[in-house]
């Protein structure tokens, strides 16, 4: 059936059948929240690109510049779930984002809201790959939206820009900088040198920054991302609501030390 989709007036959205992703579900604790008899997944994109000027003075990945997306996306999804429950009281609706059993890139491609880039990320025509993915799983049978195009330009630029060859025939998580900057414990000198060279103490945007499909993209329409973004930090600023705080203070401090002191064992 066709239903009124909440948030559809300003966010890219689509719907895929739950059975099309059921075999690829990610094993995680959140899996137990999937409604019994799930039939459809409403997939949303939450664009976060703030415009190039917002990133000039920063050494963190673009996705971590505004407040933590788990909080902001979570609030939007909760609101959408509230509306859906009111209109369809006999059905179940469960929101997920990132910490989700749904392989989100796949679900977004199947829903027709973008293509899968060779960098592994979902790329939307209007907002590029700088979009988070969030979804609502329901036992309501909703007519799926379809994809007309599923592949990127295949130009190879992301593969070339990837510092340690994480993008190959498949994806090597251990070689991905984004993973490296989140890893707990002391980093070996090779990893520390990579962080220094890359100039980013949290996450990595190399494979997105070079992507031609990210040229001339639009700035996010989400006011919470725009308003919470900081273009510089002052000593003593709280990092509590930032996307890099979930790993604990030690990890981000270690990366900062590596960057500032050219030695991951030095003091700041
Ligand atoms: C684990 C994880 C990571 C791991 C491993 C990523 C990986 N590619 O395997 C690490 C920590 C490295 C990571 C990094 C990043 N992540 Co991440 N991550 C996830 C998470 C939680 C699960 C992904 C997963 O394991 N899927 C399971 C498999 C079965 O799904 P799949 O669709 O078949 O394929 C995925 C991968 O296997 C991979 N892949 C499959 N085949 C191939 C082949 C090649 C050649 C490549 C390059 C990749 C690749 O790409 C898909 C997306 O990860 C998802 C959220 C979710 N629930 O999906 C977010 C998610 C994919 N991440 C996200 C983001 C933003 C990032 C970063 C850009 C953050 C940053 N700036 O540093 C980087 C990008 C790295 C990259 N190029 O993929 C977003 C992506 C949004 C988008 N537009 O696509 C997601 C969807 C979270 C969200 N809700 O918004 N991530
Ligand atoms: S995020 Fe960085 S390290 Fe990871 S795949 Fe992209 S370019 Fe490579
Ligand atoms: S850089 Fe080229 S190959 Fe890589 S995701 Fe973008 S369009 Fe695809």
pLDDT in 10s for each residue of the chain, 268 residues: 999 999 999 999 999 999 999 999 999 999 999 999 999 999 999 999 999 999 988 889 999 999 999 999 999 999 999 999 999 999 999 999 999 999 999 999 999 999 999 999 999 999 999 999 999 999 999 999 987 888 999 999 999 999 999 999 899 999 999 999 999 998 889 889 888 888 889 999 999 999 999 999 999 999 999 999 876 666 666 777 777 777 778 888 899 888 887 544 444 4
Spatial distance between the Cα atoms of 239 and 64, rounded to a whole number of angstroms: 11
Task: Return the best residue to mutate from 162, 205, 208, 214 for the ligand 2 pocket (most ligand atoms within 8 A of CB).
Answer: 162
Is 47 within a domain?
Answer: yes
Does residue 177 lie in a domain region?
no
Q: How far does residue 55's CA lie from ligand 3's centre (Å)?
A: 22
- 150 belongs to a structural domain: no
pTM: 0.94
Contacts of 259 (CB under 8 A, 6+ apart): 59, 195, 196, 199, 201
**Catalytic residue chosen out of the listed positions 9, 67, 98, 263:** 98
Q: For the chain, percent helix, then strand, then coil, each to nearest 5?
A: 35, 15, 50
Structure tokens at 63: 């996705």
The answer as to whether 233 is a domain residue is no
Ligand with the closest atom to the CA of 114: 1
Distance 40 CA to ligand 2 centre (A): 31
* 44: nearest Cα among 13, 77, 6: 13
- Is the Cβ–Cβ distance between 41 and 135 less than 8 Å? yes
Residue minimizing CA distance to atom 3 of ligand 3: 154
Nearest CA to ligand 3 atom 5: 117
Dist. CA 101 → ligand 3 center (Å): 26
In a domain, 211, yes or no: no
Strands 93-96, 131-138: pairing is antiparallel
List strand residue ranges (DSSP E) for 126-235, in order: 131-138
Q: Is residue 20 among the annotated active site residues?
A: no
Residue 149 within a domain: no
Residue 107 lies in domain:
13-138
Query: Does 85 fall in a domain?
Result: yes
Task: Quote the ligand 2 centre to 41 CA distance (angstroms).
Answer: 28
C-alpha torsion sign, points 200, 173, 40, 27: negative
Closest listed ligand to the CA of 70: 1
How many domains does one find in the chain?
Answer: 1
């Amino acid at each position: 059936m066709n239903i009124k989709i909440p948030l559809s007036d300003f966010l890219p959205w689509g719907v895929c059948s739950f059975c099309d992703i059921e075999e690829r579900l990610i094993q995680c604790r959140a899996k137990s929240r999937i409604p019994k008899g799930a039939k459809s997944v409403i997939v949303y994109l939450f664009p976060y690109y703030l415009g190039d000027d917002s990133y000039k003075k920063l050494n963190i990945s673009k996705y971590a510049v505004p407040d933590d997306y788990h909080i902001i996306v979570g609030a939007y999804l909760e609101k959408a779930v509230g509306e859906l429950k009111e209109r369809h009281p006999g059905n179940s609706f469960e929101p997920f984002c990132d910490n989700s059993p749904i392989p989100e890139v796949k679900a977004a491609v199947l829903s027709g809201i973008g293509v899968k880039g060779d960098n592994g990320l979902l790329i939307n025509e209007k907002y590029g790959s700088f979009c988070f993915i969030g979804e609502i799983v329901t036992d309501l049978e909703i007519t799926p939206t379809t994809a007309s195009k599923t592949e990127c330009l295949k130009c190879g630029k992301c593969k070339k820009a990837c510092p340690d060859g994480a993008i190959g025939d498949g994806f090597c998580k251990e070689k991905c900088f984004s993973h490296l900057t989140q890893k707990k414990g002391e980093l070996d000198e090779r990893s520390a040198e990579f962080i220094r060279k890359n100039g980013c103490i949290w996450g990595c945007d190399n494979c997105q920054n070079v992507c031609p499909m990210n040229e001339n993209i639009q700035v996010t329409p989400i006011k919470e991302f725009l308003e919470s973004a900081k273009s510089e930090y002052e000593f003593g600023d709280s990092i509590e609501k930032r996307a890099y705080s979930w790993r604990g203070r030690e990890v981000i401090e270690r990366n900062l030390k590596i960057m500032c002191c050219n030695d991951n064992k030095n003091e700041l």
